[in-house]
Structure 1
């Protein structure tokens, strides 16, 4: 065997070893990829309608109001290898991020999934409330203590399940209202909570504390609604709160005559709170790609995400920025009426 051929054999062997190592060496990164879209006006998991209503007439509709998703490769229980990390960087539609961006240290993948499922459930309830209120219906709302944080300053005073009535004599009906009332205090001040517990009204004093520059009492909150009709959203195993705005539009469409979209293919993303404010989300650039691949012509994007949108809109997709449910609904109606010249976009 010649010296030259021996060198080639060694080079091939080394290459094979390196390739093998790249497949078994795992890195603490995640790859965020465009995910599938789901038409909120169509069917969800199991082929059943994504949105069903009991107690009020619904109307046939056309077009699509797609909620968008991302796919995540990696995580503490299934880390990406070197090959995947390299190909993730080469695909411009992907985003390669440190693992702890989605999976904070000390939190398991199962715990993240559980949190995402809880956020999805909450977003559905808020979306239904917003849609029904948009139709002029009254939807009473209360804020409940879901759980107390570890070493909570409210420990031994507030309990999970307490219904918050007022703070310092001012009625509170939303989590934002609770946070504002608490943050009106300096850390160490006492805040007076009036709560309903097991059918009894209690007045309790809670000493506030500081957390990253904010005054807190160390509780996690949950909103509960008293709906006049039963609306069910069947989103399957998708998690997180980012489909809230699209759910609210779909419920509104189902409960109003005619097609809200006018038959147009519209996708979007954004959280929704109970007063109809649309919030920013993660993975907006991947969701734009997913929307285009899913056939959308129009995309409703939270105004809070506009900086990430600019320069990353796929050809043939038009983005409309929205900050509230009302703006989103009006934009869809304008698209249906083909009166889109004045619709705001991200610039």
Structure 2
């Protein structure tokens, strides 16, 4: 066989072997890509994303105003926990501008199951809705009240089927609690195996009161005795619940958006609520998208997958993107053409930026700069 033919054959076989290896070899990575983007002022799957519910005979509901334009929340699509990326898939993802390849453990930590990750994302999404409502109503000077609630209950824990997510905890062992962390402090004073008495208002009673624009009534409280056990990780005495700070509002604000997880829509939900409850049209008809966590005081926090969210927003038509200050440097390094990244640290920053956008004074916007 001529040397040239042999060399060509060997190269071809090597290439085939490399391609086979690329298809068969699995690598510990996951892929992010732009996910759905939803207008918080609009309708999704036939229902308004945000709705101020009108209860019969309830006089506390404020007027809901018409809105225009877009205040889009953005998401990231992530490969599933069972998906195993190949070397070829990773190389393809690294070369595409609309894909982000990240270590698998970044998305699915080794110590957590896929179900636990999904549950955590759902809880964070629910908590972000609560904080969005609080931040929006504070901005509008509408008073709210807070209380300690059961955030989640672990399976097979002593509290399972005794306490339920959404129950309001008013006292533990007869001691009133006003902060979420107070519950754990009282529980850990017990030895594993001892009983703890919780005074709770069941979530059904809480929900009924909130739908009428009222606070949960102490008259609906009941005592629940729960056993304790030892935490596997550090030996602490626990009952198997997480706690959080819940809120009561003077009227019901319904956020209807399924199959979304995580806390990153908080800012856009808060802005949507303010837009619906004020006569000022916040966007002036413009297409604004954004992301960012928000706390009860209106502080905006950074999130993951910022590049994918911006790409997804731009593809849908967004011209302005409210960007958490902590994400600005990364976001500005490789932004799509035709979209302005607006640096946002607080709810007030966002509202100020929207005022500049709707009035056409976009030259005064605080823009993200590459670090």
Q: TM-score range by the shorter chain?
A: 0.7 to 0.9
Counterpart for residue 240 of structure 1: 262
Counterpart for residue 87 of structure 1: 92
Counterpart for residue 52 of structure 1: 51
2:364 aligned residue (326, 329, 342): 342
Residue by residue over 1:66-120, the C-alpha shift from the partner in whole angstroms, topping out at 9 and shown as x without a partner, is 11111223x5411111111001111244332211111000322232222212211
5+ residue gaps in structure 1? 203-208
Query: What is the rounded CA distance, in whole Å, between the counterparts of 2:47 and 2:222 in structure 1?
Result: 42
Q: For residues 222-237 of structure 1, what are the structure 2 equivalents within 5 Å?
A: 222-237=244-259
1:298 aligned residue (294, 298, 320): 320
Aligned 8 A contact 1:145 1:219 in 2: yes
Residue by residue over 1:46-82, the C-alpha shift from the partner in whole angstroms, topping out at 9 and shown as x without a partner, is 2322222212442222111111111223x54111111
Residues 1:343 and 1:218: Cα distance change in structure 2 (over 3 Å): farther
Query: What is the rounded CA distance, in whole Å, between the counterparts of 1:196 and 1:341 in structure 2?
Result: 56
Report how far residue 146 of structure 1 moved: 2.8
Aligned 8 A contact 2:170 2:200 in 1: no
1:70 aligned residue (59, 76, 80): 76
Counterpart for residue 142 of structure 1: 147
Residue by residue over 1:241-276, the C-alpha shift from the partner in whole angstroms, topping out at 9 and shown as x without a partner, is 101100111121122225210011111100112222
Query: What is the rounded CA distance, in whole Å, between the counterparts of 2:189 and 2:144 in structure 1?
Result: 34
Residues 1:147 and 1:41: Cα distance change in structure 2 (over 3 Å): closer
Residues 1:149 and 1:277: Cα distance change in structure 2 (over 3 Å): farther
Report how far residue 33 of structure 1 moved: 2.2
Report how far residue 314 of structure 1 moved: 2.7
Counterpart for residue 313 of structure 1: 335
Query: What is the rounded CA distance, in whole Å, between the counterparts of 2:34 and 2:331 in structure 1?
Result: 14
1:61 aligned residue (49, 67, 74): 67
Residue by residue over 1:16-67, the C-alpha shift from the partner in whole angstroms, topping out at 9 and shown as x without a partner, is 34323322222111122233322111221x2322222212442222111111
5+ residue gaps in structure 2? 55-60, 191-196, 202-220, 225-230
Query: What is the rounded CA distance, in whole Å, between the counterparts of 2:365 and 2:171 in structure 1?
Result: 40
Q: Kindly tell me the number of residue pairs found equivalent between the two proteins.
A: 332
Aligned 8 A contact 1:36 1:294 in 2: no
**TM-score relative to the length of structure 1:** 0.78
Query: What is the rounded CA distance, in whole Å, between the counterparts of 2:346 and 2:177 in structure 1?
Result: 24
1:252 aligned residue (269, 274, 281): 274
Q: For residues 1-347 of structure 1, what are the structure 2 equivalents within 5 Å?
A: 4-5=4-5, 8-9=8-9, 11-44=11-44, 46-55=45-54, 56=61, 57-73=63-79, 75-147=80-152, 163=168, 172=178, 196-197=199-200, 199=221, 220-347=242-369
